[in-house]
Structure formats: C-alpha cells, structure tokens
Structure 1
C-alpha cells in the first residue's frame, strides 16, 4: 500500500457518516506503520471496542475504506477467519459487518463475515505454521496465502461498496 496521511484515511471511507468520521480514532502506532509491508490496513478503534476499519488500495492507486461493526466473539469452539483462513480459538473470531453504500445502505443492508477479532489477518498469514517431521515448506506457500488474503479482503470491501 502507498503511505497515507490521517486526512487521506478519513476521506477514504465510503460507508461512514459524519458522526463516525468525527469520532474515528486512528491506531496509536499510526505514524509507525510500514506501508510498503501492507496489502491492506485494518485496525480496531481504540475508543470504541465494537468498531473497526479496513482500507484497501485499488490498482489505480485509489484507497477505499469501510467501517466495520463487530459482534461478540464466540466463546466455545474454534473458528476460521474467512479472510486469512486461519483457525483461531472461538473468542478470537467474530462476525464483522459493514453497512453497504448507496441505496442498499440507506435501506439498512449490510454485509458481514467471520474475521479475526483483532483484524490481525495481515500478520496471521505471515506466521509460519509448524511443519510435520517430514514436511518441507515450499517458497510459494506464504505468497499464495498472502495473495488469497488480499483478494478475499478486496472482495469483502467490494461487496460493501457495490455500486448501485
């Protein structure tokens, strides 16, 4: 992703109202973000525990952001994040939904999926999974997981930002 200023981040949200933009709190480490390392930028609002944000960059260089609402994480069995395809304990996966844009959003339509509660998908796919004793990791495995995670997050944002 290209480096963004706080003003650019705030201007990128397609499903936020004026109140959400006014109360949006940037992550505490925003000035330290390594933008070259990111395929997308996601964080939970430090002051509003049920709100999160995700930004993706399109091929044309434009950035689109969506505001997410989180349900309570599960308490029981483990679950899989639909973005990074990582198995997590039940309390670390939550349904995150976003109000759709346009007429659909004005009617109250939203789109949601199960995502890592802390929105750490970008880091989770970079963690090396333990290998079986005779297993060898191919160099392309991590790249394949990164590409899939990026594509799934872009598809999620596209569903929210569906042009009417």
Structure 2
C-alpha cells in the first residue's frame, strides 16, 4: 500500500457522513507506518473504542469503511477465526465488525458484518512465515498466497459494503 495523507483518509469514507469523517481520530503512528507491509490501514478509534476504520487501496484511490464493534467485546469462552487473515495461530481477539452499507441503503439502516481481528493486525498475521514442511516446502510462497487471500477477502467485504 502506498502512503496516504490524513486528508485522503478523511475523504475516503463511503459509509460515513462528512461530520463523522472529520471527527475520527487518526492512528497515532500514521507518520511511522511501514506502508509497504500493509494491504489496508485498519485501526480502532481511541476516543470511541467501539468504532474502527478500514482504508483500502483501490483502482480509483483509497476507499474507507467505518465499522462498529459489539458492546460486549469478544466472547472469552470460544475462539473465532478472522475472516480476513484467517490466521489459525493468532491469540488476538476477533470481533464481529459491522459496517453501514454505502448510499441510501446504509441511511435506511442496512448493514453488513464480518469477523475481523479486534485490533486489525491482519496484515502482519499473513506475513508470518510458517515453518517449511512436506505440505508447504516454500514458506515464502505460503506468505504470498496468504497476502493474496487477505487482499481478495478484504476486497469482497468492501464490495458488500458498496452494494448499498
């Protein structure tokens, strides 16, 4: 992903009002991010912890999605797999993040949701090289497949939000 500015982030949201986009809290580490190892920019709003944001590169620029987490957080009695990174080894919480659909459908209250790592660590999760074994003799190829899968699944979720 290429570096993006705060203005690009704020103007990218397809399911938020201008007021909501203006008030969002940007990630503290925005200036020091390793953009080449990100497939999307995802973060939780530190002032409103139930709100999260995904900003994805697209053919016509970046597209942002505002998300909402459940009030109770993650259930501690069961493990859930993130639908984006599908990291089976991650010990991080996974939440059902819900997004208003874009356009009139979202203004009418229609939403879509998916299971995503609570702190949006998916880009790092897919870049962890597994040990070489008989099934996967080339760990670097596994990482490339995982990155491609993350990009495809994230794009699919974006499409579901856009289909207002």
Q: Which aligned pairs between 1:7-86 and structure 2 lie closer than 5 A?
A: 7-60=7-60, 62-71=61-70, 72-86=73-87
State whether residues 37 and 123 of structure 2, in contact with CA within 8 Å, keep that contact through their aligned partners in structure 1: no
Moved over 4 A (4+): none
Give 5+ residue unaligned stretches, structure 1.
none
Q: Does 2:158 align with 1:157?
A: yes
Give the TM-score of the pair, scaled to structure 2: 0.89
TM-superposed CA distance for 1:116, in Å, is 0.6
Q: Does 2:119 align with 1:106?
A: no
Residue deviations 1:41-76 (CA, integer Å, cap 9, x gap): 11111211111100111134x110000101121211
Q: Distance in 2 between matches of 1:104 and 1:17?
A: 14
TM-superposed CA distance for 1:104, in Å, is 1.0
TM-superposed CA distance for 1:125, in Å, is 0.9
Q: Distance in 1 between matches of 2:75 and 2:125?
A: 19
TM-superposed CA distance for 1:8, in Å, is 0.8
| RMSD (Å), alpha carbons | 1.8
Change (3 A) 1:70 1:137: farther
Match of 1:6 in 2: 6
Paired residues, number: 160
Which sits farther off after the overlay, 120-129 or 6-15? 120-129
* Partner SS state of residue 2, structure 1: coil
* Partner SS state of residue 36, structure 2: helix
Change (3 A) 1:41 1:137: farther
Which sits farther off after the overlay, 79-88 or 106-115? 79-88
Match of 1:144 in 2: 145
Give 5+ residue unaligned stretches, structure 2.
none
